[in-house]
A and B are shown apart, each in its own frame.
Chain A
Amino acid sequence: MNGPQHVIRTERIGKIYDSGEVQVEALKEIDLRIEPGEMVAIMGASGSGKSTMLNILGCLDQPTSGDYYLDGIHANELDRDQLADIRNRKIGFVFQGFNLLSRTTAFENVELPLLYSRRPEDGDPAAATRRALERVGLAERMHHFPNQLSGGQQQRVAIARALVNQPAIVLADEPTGNLDTRTSIEIMATFQELNRQGITLILVTHEHDIADYCKRIIEFRDGRIIRDLAVAGRRDAGADLGTGRWPAGGLGERP
């Protein structure tokens, strides 16, 4: 059943945080399947379990029950080192706070996953790094430090870093949370372009307008998936940037 048709497949995974006397059930028997080429938004209030889900999908954490298959690999049987290798090879992370290393150039930040890679068959890391930066349109700024770049540019560097090892999936945790509306849409345009090129994307967001740029929305509440729908009127970020038509009050939560 763990054929290549699903990039992500979870079977009744649960997560219980056990802090002595208090037990918190953060995830309850989640079954989730994501196919290659999807662009999924995970939504939910804080405490709904979406962050826990993302941590498990990103192999930063492991479920307390159930099975998780990532790109055909049974991920909850792996030890710390193997999980580190999976994160390195199969997953690209994009965070809300960019999480770039300061005093480290854009080029060096993007190169970092390659330096931790233990695959000798990888080609020239410098060339791969340049390619990744070109994909997000930052080829001219590769020797700038993060504090010399705008927020949107920093997030693009982070996206390039997520792409450089050619992962099976890119996980983005509130990637537009620290950005203004226009820059947010620019980042979404980048994501949509990458998705068109075949990259599978999962975004965690609490903004419906951002979620509307995705193909599918999954909504969490109290550790369960309460909604899993295809986006009906999917928006095109490139077109929105061209027309300049986006909600005047920014991309807030819909009432």
Chain B
Amino acid sequence: MKWKNLIKVAFKSIVKNKMRTLLTMLGIIIGVAAVIVMVAIGKGAEKRIQDQISSMGTNLITIFPGSMQSRGVHMGPDQGVQLTLDDVERIRRNATLALAVSPMVRSGAQIIGGSGNWSTSVWGVSEQYLEIRDWPLSAGEFFSNTDVRAQNKVCVVGQTIVKNLFANEDPVGQQLRVRNVPFKIIGVLKEKGQGAFGQDQDDLLIAPYSTVLYRLSGVSGHEHIHQILVRAASLGQMEQAQAELTSIMREAHRIPEGADDDFTVRNQTDIAATAQETSNVLTMLLASIASISLLVGGIGIMNIMLVSVTERTHEIGIRMAIGARGRDILVQFLIEAVVLSLSGGLIGVLIGFLATWIVNLATDWNTVIAPLNVLLSFGFAGAVGIFFGYYPARKAAALNPIEALRYE
């Protein structure tokens, strides 16, 4: 029989029992819609994490002090060789693929100023830090190379500090005491929001690393710095830049050929990949839960197809008597099952879109509809139809024509 006629016959039988058809399709509809919504939510979370990671600076390379081996025993990063300002200077002079370089000295401190006091993070960095992080100022200006060399007591503050200490006044130009050392606020950072791991990225004070190292007592008395941040010339040259930095660092630390690095060079892509993997697992989990309902929908189709075959035994007998082969009957019922599941899939896609849109409106979750996933779940619905429709269709095709004709 021709496809056109087969599909016509399938539609005729589907339209005949509207209520039953709808209830049968419901399983597939819910399944497909659930897959689409769940994947959209999962992908949304994924995208959110990616955005936050790239908001840390896209072609950022970070050098951490590595763990060091002493007589076969690995020691913690702080126990081994530290990064020094000499390393920073060597990178600044020798790294051809580095656009900007900054050391990072971190410390926590109590600050007093404006309307009260506040406990915050104090970061010591170079004048190129904002360029490395792609982080604009909302007011004032950043400190300069002169400030760094002169160890000037100037700083820029994040929005959280502004909110807590300078709610009613312009913070630029104000004085601030960090561990009793007076600092002048020369700029305010633009709001960055929550970080990928839930931390407040705006609760910080940034000052020249030299000032933090030498003027703030209590911060490491010698030149220990926690990280070196480097902005590579371009995203495409990340790997070359990383290799270049590694060789400069090995030379600076006089590491012999064949020995392990005593530092770690990592770029955002590595971190992003890890985060991506985590959120991928989440998406997979959500999708597989939703797929179960799709499977249950398939069983519903099988159930109703078996009923349909029994109901239409006489019709099958007539068709066989006038020359339908077993294969013709098989294909007829298979197409009916597939039309049923694909129609359900189509409605499911529409409802999935609608539900995703509602989720977007009602909650602050991000949702991303991936076209490939929509196509995939639609295709999966069709596959479910073929899989669960095959047994009933096979049963119909194997009927004995005489018995089928006699069946009333």
Contacts and interface: CB of A to CB of B under 8 A. Distances in A.
A and B physically associate:
yes
Given A87-B323, A116-B328, A61 B318 contact: no
B172 interface: no
Most A CB atoms within 10 A — which of B16, B321, B402?
B321
Contact of B322 (A55, A81, A104, A116): A116
A115 B314 CA distance: 19
A60 B319 contact: no
B405 A116 contact: no
Interface in A82-98: 84-85, 87-89, 93, 95
Interface in A110-160: 112-113, 115-117
Contacts of A165: 323
A61 B403 CA distance: 10
Contact of A103 (B16, B328, B401): B16
A81 B314 CA distance: 19
A188 B141 CA distance: 107
Contacts of A84: 320, 323-326
Interface in B1-51: 1-2, 5, 12, 16
Contacts, number: 59
Contacts of A60: 320-321, 401-402, 405
Contacts of B315: 101
Contacts of B325: 80-81, 84-85, 116
B323 A85 contact: yes
A101 B322 contact: no
Contacts of B319: 112, 116
Contacts of A89: 323
A99 B402 contact: no
Nearest to B398: A80
A89 B324 CA distance: 11
Interface residues of A, number: 25
Contacts of A100: 318
Contacts of B401: 60
A24 to B, nearest CB: 15
Given A58-B321, A61-B402, A99-B318, A115 B2 contact: yes
Contacts of A116: 1, 319, 322-325, 328
Contacts of A103: 12, 16
Contacts of A161: 322
Given A81-B326, A87-B321, A99-B318, A115 B1 contact: yes
A93 B16 contact: no
Chain B interface, >50% SS class: helix
A87 B320 CA distance: 8
A161 B323 CA distance: 12
B332 to A, nearest CB: 11
A39 to B, nearest CB: 21
B400 to A, nearest CB: 9
Contacts of A55: 402
A152 B401 CA distance: 25
Contacts of B314: 99
Contact of A113 (B323, B402, B405): B323
Interface in B351-408: 401-402, 405
A88 B319 CA distance: 10
A13 to B, nearest CB: 16
Contacts of A104: 12
A112 B326 CA distance: 15
Contact of A112 (B317, B322, B327): B322
Interface in B293-334: 314-315, 317-328
A60 B321 CA distance: 7
Given A87-B321, A88-B324, A116-B323, 20 more contacts: A55-B402, A60-B401, A60-B405, A80-B326, A81-B325, A84-B320, A84-B326, A85-B323, A85-B325, A93-B321, A99-B321, A99-B405, A100-B318, A101-B315, A101-B318, A115-B1, A115-B5, A116-B324, A117-B323, A161-B322
24 contacts: A55-B402, A58-B321, A60-B320, A60-B321, A60-B405, A80-B325, A80-B326, A81-B325, A84-B326, A85-B325, A87-B320, A88-B322, A88-B323, A89-B323, A95-B405, A99-B314, A99-B317, A101-B315, A112-B322, A113-B322, A115-B2, A116-B319, A116-B323, A116-B324
10 tightest A-B contacts by CB? A88-B323, A84-B325, A116-B323, A113-B322, A99-B318, A87-B323, A116-B324, A81-B325, A115-B1, A60-B401
Interface of B: 1-2, 5, 12, 16, 314-315, 317-328, 401-402, 405
